[in-house]
Amino acid sequence: MLISNACLLLIIHSSPKDSKSPGQTPPPQQQQQQQQQHPATLVNRVEKPQHAPQPVRGVVLGDTLSLQREQHCRLIGRTSALDISLLGFSDFGSRHETNTGFGKIRRVANSDFFSMHTDAAFSTYEDELQTLVAVEQTVAPYGPSLIDLYFRNVHPSFPILQKHTFMDRHRCGDRQFHSGLLAGMYLLALRWWNKDPVLSQHPKPPVYRLEELAARSLSMAMQHPKLSALQAGLLLLQRRQSTDWGLTVQLVALAQDLGLHIDCTNWDIPVWERRLRKRLAWALYMQDKWTALVHGRPSHIQAADWAVSTLSLDDFNEEFENADQQMIADVENEEEEKSRVIFIQMIELTSIMAEVIDVFYTQRANAEFEAGGRNATRLILERAKPVQLKLKEWFSRLPSVARMDAYTPGKLSSNGKRQKVGQNKAAHGLHMKQDTCILHTLQPRYLFTDALCSRCSPRLRIHTSCIFVDQRQRHD
């Protein structure tokens, strides 16, 4: 259910009563009223298409935990000032909320609680509304077309949004979205601007302006965290120009405020929100691990504090159910199904990579290898074997749709081929990281058998070939 050209929504900055002919200046009193108008009024002032579908009433954001319009939540940790064991004795109403001397508390499980806060209580609330208006004005009147491009080209391989909910709200004139999220979606969609037969005939909106607005929005969002702010940050990190390490660290902190590191399988929140939280959590997990690897920094997500359950294909089901309506969903195409499989496989590969980093590249591991002396290489090989077996098993269980040989030249694919190329390069990179650590110990004072050198040589030849192929791909 993608947005058609007939359903373009135009941001209207003056009502029909205020319309004027070219060159006509409105009265001073009217100018003053327009200048003093509340930003929220501008955000909601849109012209709905004549044949637009009605809003889906089954999606009630007020029932969610971290997607509400005017308030946000923060996880109450087990070592915080509020005693969780005592909170359980409070009288929670039908919405699982209670008012205390510390504010409103919401219970989502027997031992998981969140404090609820009003957005308007923060000084950045008005600025956020103004930023949202500025984002829409920057791309107007092409916003709906860019949203269409986003869900056709980006969402299948990076499913961190609730597609049906978002598109239904956007088509029906709802503009109360997170400004950074919209800016991030527009920025990624602009990659396909010149490939669209209609948009390519018009000047492209200024990218630098969207980048400025997105950065400002994320800075404000840190004061009242929501899933939409995390989504915005992850989208911005997919751009090559982003300064990814610092922003990744901020997003990890924001996600922990939202409790994304906790298993939400049995939480008392809508099923579709649980699925969305899991997809977001694992997307952030991959971002943190690979960014830490690239920059040679410690990961900020530790295994001991990561309780998110394994992602399954059911977690990509974006259907939602309400007592007053039947389930709503559109038929996903074959390429989207393949992208989901690849997304799950990339998560598994990332978990193996995280183990490689923990085994070989932490400060503790480095100290142990240094202390090993002549036995350092033997110690590394012993630790490498279990990880190598996991990587081999992962590759042997790789579904056919996730293999490079499953790509059909000339067949339309969203980002499936790009995902597979990145996935295979990542797998080869893990082998190289292991052997690099082994080579570091193969100094003259550590060499103790010729057999050890002969064991490493075949692997080195394979890696030399991989580097050659990679360089040829870049050249081509």
> What is residue 146's predicted lDDT score, i.e. its pLDDT?
95
DSSP 3-state assignment of 245?
helix
Q: What is the pLDDT of residue 407?
A: 53
> What is the DSSP annotation of 378-402?
HHHHHHHHHHHHHHHHHHHT--GGG
d(CA 152, CA 146): 10
Helix axes 244-257, 227-237, angle to 10 degrees: 160
Residue 75, phi then psi, degrees to nearest 5 = -65, 135
Q: Over the chain (476 residues), what is each successive 10-residue block's mean pLDDT?
A: 34 34 40 44 39 44 82 90 78 81 88 89 76 93 94 93 84 80 96 94 94 90 88 90 82 96 95 95 96 91 95 84 42 76 93 91 91 87 88 88 62 46 54 52 40 44 46 47
130-160 burial, b if ≥16 CB within 10 A, otherwise e? bbbbbbbebbeebbbbbbbbbbbbbbbbbbb
pLDDT of residue 401: 82
CB 383 within 8 A of CB 359: yes
In the prediction, which pLDDT does 373 show? 87
Cα–Cα distance measured from residue 436 to residue 464, given in angstroms and rounded to the nearest whole number:
12
| Cα separation, 51 vs 95, whole angstroms | 36
pLDDT confidence of residue 223: 81
Query: Residue 91: how many CB atoms within 10 A of its CB?
Result: 6
DSSP character at residue 16: G
Q: Give one DSSP letter per residue of 66-134, joined into a string.
A: S--SSEEEEE--TTSSS-HHHHTTS---TTSEEEETTEEEEEEETTEEEEEEEGGGSTTHHHHHHHHHH
CB 338 within 8 A of CB 400: no
Q: How far apart are CA 127 and CA 427, in angstroms?
A: 44
- The strand pairing partners of 203, in sequence order, are none
